[in-house]
Chains A and B, each alone.
Chain A
């Protein structure tokens, strides 16, 4: 097919970091007004490719043509001025500053050398109006929710008269409604002739909004095709570097279908209340079952787990473990009662980066590993090696710093942190988020296996597939209330979605999304 002159052409790009060849002759071709998906597992080289394009990294070799001319951006600023703008996954704006400042930072309209505040605010308002966002632009950015913040980031990009907007996993912290708004904005950009590079782990989204897709693997470009010409399974196979047959044989997750043998009641939570974020949540988990916790962002999922775990203090309601009322004043109390909690954000609430795999894994176990305050190293070593083997953790050894592991392996270490305590109930908050496909299905299979062995699991997930295939029951939250409990027979993506949004549902807008 004859293609028009591409807007962006990157060819033969190589980049080596100390010890790692991140890119090995990768290429990327984006046409004008095209929405182009870039996908690949973690470590495939997507981010490096984009950072080279935007001037954050220097390439070792290869060529970049933009608008027909060879270019070399030495800084993100140079890229911006040339019309290449990036919207990063973790929204890179300044929370304390006003919306209008965030849009115009660095290019404030001036009069006699001084900032012209009224003009700046008016222009910011006008820009946001394009996307039907009507907000007070003089208020600090942090008073708005993530979706609005994302729109502000996009408005900033547009205001640079961008020819190419790069979105690095823009939907990872948006709920469905916000995602559809974002897609609408992308379509408008496209209509204005702006090209978009769209990086995402969520395959469904690519089909909803993208024209073409580039698949990367091991620092190389393996495919560049129109999205219509390729199936989801083919994409996954290309990303993993597997034959199509291997992928189709199982479902898309590592869970096996079928119920677990649910046993005695483990956790009983009634009318949980925390601030204005949780109101009236009921929840049961029995030994040996996986209970899904579904809901839009801001519906209070993470808060439920934190409240049960004693990380936040309950203001009302009752938690029973083994039919006995408990009152956990700190996570330490919950841990003593046999509960573990894998938080959503590995980096912020999970790993201790400069500690070794060994120390990270046994952190919660330490009180049991020590006598008179002294850690018994042999015992510790034994346990760590056992779990590295059991969970197939890819590490140079127990002494490797955890920060050097890939996301999936970090998550396995964090799971092992709880498993080595031999818990009876595990609270998992988005256990597979941001993890590459291979490790993801391994972790899912592990959760499944643990439940078979009698562990009770409460799993928070935004991925409907995970909920439908993995859970014995799904409890759905909305606005801090538990609004539905779907038994195993009734679990389907439609049923969950219907319960999450419901007709009268108000999106959690306005409120800050606390579990982003």
Chain B
């Protein structure tokens, strides 16, 4: 409330013109730097990290290093992309890790089945791609309907599946580790068309597609309008509930895909581990990337960069023999610094 008022007071000169011209001066310069950091801080940090590594980390500039990093970051980016949309509407999705576990638990059950329609190898693999992702999407729909129809706060609504979802995955598999070798299914995690890991291509396609959707489509505008001012959006005829349902479904679907990638890489599915702490990584990537958690603004490429930063920090520390545990501490510091720099101007 007071924010807008003081903006009115400070920015609206009596003629209503935005403050431009000579009155600015020094303030402008300082603000300019702040704005620059807000807009490009994450990219700058990524560049600095890359430069540091080129100088200090041995064998950094190799395709192998690139592939290792991209492969590891792909699932985070895919999930974080969905999370970005949810956050843009002012929501949050804590259930992503559990949904990954569910989809990761279902896929082997399908393509390993000895009887029924899915015992056919081709059909089995196709179904193992489609059904788990659809199921994850359906759980996303469940999240979305709790948020829209029952007006439950997103953090609580998705907490339900965060708790129950992994349990469902464990119950389905009886908590057993499922191991498998199925090259056609595992292509999603191990395939290398043009010598590029398949999941990296998938990741880039998803990011580019989402960024494009957010930029040019009416859906993208609606997502931002809902996050920016839900009441106003509703009164302007925006189908608020459908938009919200959609973002949770998308988040669910992308989590489902990420779950498949993880088990394909591991050649095994452990419902206890797949996607664990993924919600934290995804939210961190979104926040570091510069999408405010309050909704209404969004940067998909920022999220990609945010995830890359987090990944690269971990890699840098490991490559320089800093233990994984210490990397957690550094990651924490990076998140805070990034969010602090990119926080909206105080009025």
A/B contact in complex, CB under 8 angstroms: yes
Q: Which residues of A contact B (CB under 8 A)?
A: 16-22, 41-45, 47-48, 90, 217-218, 309, 311, 330-332, 334-336, 341, 343, 347-355, 359, 363-364, 366-367, 369-370, 373-375, 377, 394-396, 400, 403-409, 417, 436, 439
Query: Residue B11 contacts which of A19, A41, A351 (CB distance < 8 angstroms)?
Result: A19
Query: Using Cβ atoms and an 8 Å threshold, which residues of chain B touch A375?
Result: 216-218, 221
Query: Using Cβ atoms and an 8 Å threshold, which residues of chain A touch B229?
Result: 348-353
Q: Are B235 and A309 in contact (CB under 8 A)?
A: yes
Q: Are B28 and A18 in contact (CB under 8 A)?
A: yes
**Beyond A352-B229, A374-B218, is A409–B24 a contact (Cβ under 8 Å)?**
no
Query: Using Cβ atoms and an 8 Å threshold, which residues of chain B touch A347?
Result: 1, 4
Segment of B13-21, B94-102, B154-162, B331-339 in the binding face: B13-21
Q: Are A43 and B13 in contact (CB under 8 A)?
A: yes
Asked whether any CB of chain A lies closer than 8 Å to the CB of B297, the reply is yes
**Beyond A403-B4, A406-B8, is A19–B27 a contact (Cβ under 8 Å)?**
yes
Q: Are B8 and A42 in contact (CB under 8 A)?
A: yes
Kindly state the separation between the CA atoms of A44 and B15 in the bound complex, as whole angstroms: 10
Query: Residue A352 contacts which of B23, B27, B233 (CB distance < 8 angstroms)?
Result: B233
Q: Which range holds the interface residue count of chain B?
A: 35 or more
Q: Are A355 and B217 in contact (CB under 8 A)?
A: no
Query: Using Cβ atoms and an 8 Å threshold, which residues of chain A touch B4?
Result: 347, 353, 403
Query: Can you add 11 more A-B contacts, CB < 8 Å, to A370-B217, A394-B18, A400-B18?
Result: A18-B24, A18-B31, A20-B23, A43-B13, A311-B234, A354-B224, A370-B218, A373-B219, A374-B217, A375-B216, A436-B14
Q: Are A19 and B19 in contact (CB under 8 A)?
A: yes
Query: Using Cβ atoms and an 8 Å threshold, which residues of chain B touch A218?
Result: 13-14
A-B CB contact pairs (8 Å), 27 listed: A18-B24, A18-B27, A19-B31, A21-B23, A22-B10, A41-B14, A42-B8, A43-B8, A43-B12, A47-B9, A330-B237, A341-B235, A349-B229, A350-B232, A352-B233, A353-B4, A353-B229, A355-B228, A359-B225, A366-B221, A374-B216, A374-B217, A375-B218, A396-B20, A407-B12, A417-B236, A436-B14
Asked whether any CB of chain A lies closer than 8 Å to the CB of B171, the reply is no
Q: Are A396 and B16 in contact (CB under 8 A)?
A: no
By beta carbon, the residue of chain B nearest A414 is: B232
Query: Using Cβ atoms and an 8 Å threshold, which residues of chain B touch A363?
Result: 221, 225, 232-233, 236, 238
Query: Using Cβ atoms and an 8 Å threshold, which residues of chain B touch A359?
Result: 221, 224-225
Kindly state the separation between the CA atoms of A131 and B221 in the bound complex, as whole angstroms: 51
Q: Are A19 and B23 in contact (CB under 8 A)?
A: yes
Q: Are A352 and B235 in contact (CB under 8 A)?
A: no
Query: Residue B14 contacts which of A16, A44, A370 (CB distance < 8 angstroms)?
Result: A44
Query: Using Cβ atoms and an 8 Å threshold, which residues of chain B touch A417?
Result: 236
Asked whether any CB of chain A lies closer than 8 Å to the CB of B7, the reply is yes
Name the distance in Å between B106's Cβ and chain A's nearest Cβ: 31
Kindly state the separation between the CA atoms of A45 and B16 in the bound complex, as whole angstroms: 14
Q: Are A348 and B231 in contact (CB under 8 A)?
A: yes
Query: Residue B16 contacts which of A351, A403, A409 (CB distance < 8 angstroms)?
Result: A409
Q: Are B225 and A343 in contact (CB under 8 A)?
A: no
Q: Indicate with 1 or 0, residue by residue over B205-245, a CB within 8 angstroms of chain A CB atoms.
A: 00000000000111101101100110111111111000000
Q: Are B216 and A404 in contact (CB under 8 A)?
A: no
Kindly state the separation between the CA atoms of A231 and B146 in the bound complex, as whole angstroms: 59
Kindly state the separation between the CA atoms of A403 and B229 in the bound complex, as whole angstroms: 12
Contact residues of B: prevailing secondary structure? helix
Q: Are A394 and B17 in contact (CB under 8 A)?
A: yes
Q: Are A331 and B221 in contact (CB under 8 A)?
A: no
Q: Are B23 and A403 in contact (CB under 8 A)?
A: no
By beta carbon, the residue of chain A nearest B215 is: A375
Name the distance in Å between A175's Cβ and chain B's nearest Cβ: 22
Query: Using Cβ atoms and an 8 Å threshold, which residues of chain B touch A400?
Result: 18
By beta carbon, the residue of chain A nearest B347 is: A17
Kindly state the separation between the CA atoms of A399 and B225 in the bound complex, as whole angstroms: 15
By beta carbon, the residue of chain A nearest B216 is: A374
Q: Are B14 and A355 in contact (CB under 8 A)?
A: no
Kindly state the separation between the CA atoms of A406 and B24 in the bound complex, as whole angstroms: 18
By beta carbon, the residue of chain A nearest B18 is: A396
Q: Are A406 and B235 in contact (CB under 8 A)?
A: no
Asked whether any CB of chain A lies closer than 8 Å to the CB of B189, the reply is no
Kindly state the separation between the CA atoms of A370 and B221 in the bound complex, as whole angstroms: 11
Asked whether any CB of chain A lies closer than 8 Å to the CB of B321, the reply is no
Which residues of B from 273 to 331 have beta carbons under 8 Å from A? 296-297
Q: Are B218 and A47 in contact (CB under 8 A)?
A: no
By beta carbon, the residue of chain B nearest A421 is: B237
Kindly state the separation between the CA atoms of A407 and B150 in the bound complex, as whole angstroms: 35
Q: Are B12 and A331 in contact (CB under 8 A)?
A: no
Kindly state the separation between the CA atoms of A436 and B5 in the bound complex, as whole angstroms: 14
Query: Residue B5 contacts which of A21, A47, A394 (CB distance < 8 angstroms)?
Result: A47
Query: Using Cβ atoms and an 8 Å threshold, which residues of chain A touch B28?
Result: 18-19
Query: Using Cβ atoms and an 8 Å threshold, which residues of chain B touch A343?
Result: 232, 235
By beta carbon, the residue of chain B nearest A397 is: B18
Asked whether any CB of chain A lies closer than 8 Å to the CB of B184, the reply is no
Query: Using Cβ atoms and an 8 Å threshold, which residues of chain B touch A48?
Result: 9-10
Query: Using Cβ atoms and an 8 Å threshold, which residues of chain B touch A217?
Result: 14
Name the distance in Å between B113's Cβ and chain A's nearest Cβ: 38
Kindly state the separation between the CA atoms of A308 and B38 in the bound complex, as whole angstroms: 43
Query: Residue A20 contacts which of B10, B234, B235, B236 (CB distance < 8 angstroms)?
Result: B10
Q: Are B218 and A367 in contact (CB under 8 A)?
A: yes
Q: Are A19 and B5 in contact (CB under 8 A)?
A: no
Asked whether any CB of chain A lies closer than 8 Å to the CB of B65, the reply is no
Name the distance in Å between A250's Cβ and chain B's nearest Cβ: 20
By beta carbon, the residue of chain A nearest B219 is: A373
Kindly state the separation between the CA atoms of A360 and B84 in the bound complex, as whole angstroms: 22
Which residues of B from 22 to 56 have beta carbons under 8 Å from A? 23-24, 27-28, 30-31
Kindly state the separation between the CA atoms of A45 and B13 in the bound complex, as whole angstroms: 10
**Beyond A332-B237, A352-B233, A355-B225, is A373–B16 a contact (Cβ under 8 Å)?**
no
Name the distance in Å between B236's Cβ and chain A's nearest Cβ: 4
Q: Are B23 and A311 in contact (CB under 8 A)?
A: no
Name the distance in Å between B22's Cβ and chain A's nearest Cβ: 11
Query: Using Cβ atoms and an 8 Å threshold, which residues of chain A touch B14?
Result: 41, 43-44, 217-218, 436
Asked whether any CB of chain A lies closer than 8 Å to the CB of B6, the reply is yes
Q: Are A407 and B8 in contact (CB under 8 A)?
A: yes
Kindly state the separation between the CA atoms of A417 and B229 in the bound complex, as whole angstroms: 15
The interface centre, meaning the residue of B18, B19, B23 with most chain A CB atoms within 10 A of its CB, is B18
By beta carbon, the residue of chain B nearest A350 is: B232
Kindly state the separation between the CA atoms of A439 and B15 in the bound complex, as whole angstroms: 9
Q: Are A331 and B237 in contact (CB under 8 A)?
A: yes
Q: Are A349 and B18 in contact (CB under 8 A)?
A: no
Name the distance in Å between A420's Cβ and chain B's nearest Cβ: 12
Query: Using Cβ atoms and an 8 Å threshold, which residues of chain A touch B23?
Result: 19-21
By beta carbon, the residue of chain A nearest B12 is: A406
**Beyond A47-B9, A331-B234, A354-B297, is A406–B16 a contact (Cβ under 8 Å)?**
yes
Query: Residue A404 contacts which of B18, B27, B228 (CB distance < 8 angstroms)?
Result: B18
The interface centre, meaning the residue of B8, B17, B19, B219 with most chain A CB atoms within 10 A of its CB, is B8
Kindly state the separation between the CA atoms of A7 and B273 in the bound complex, as whole angstroms: 70
Q: Are A403 and B218 in contact (CB under 8 A)?
A: no
Kindly state the separation between the CA atoms of A374 and B5 in the bound complex, as whole angstroms: 35
By beta carbon, the residue of chain A nearest B21 is: A19
Query: Using Cβ atoms and an 8 Å threshold, which residues of chain A touch B5?
Result: 47
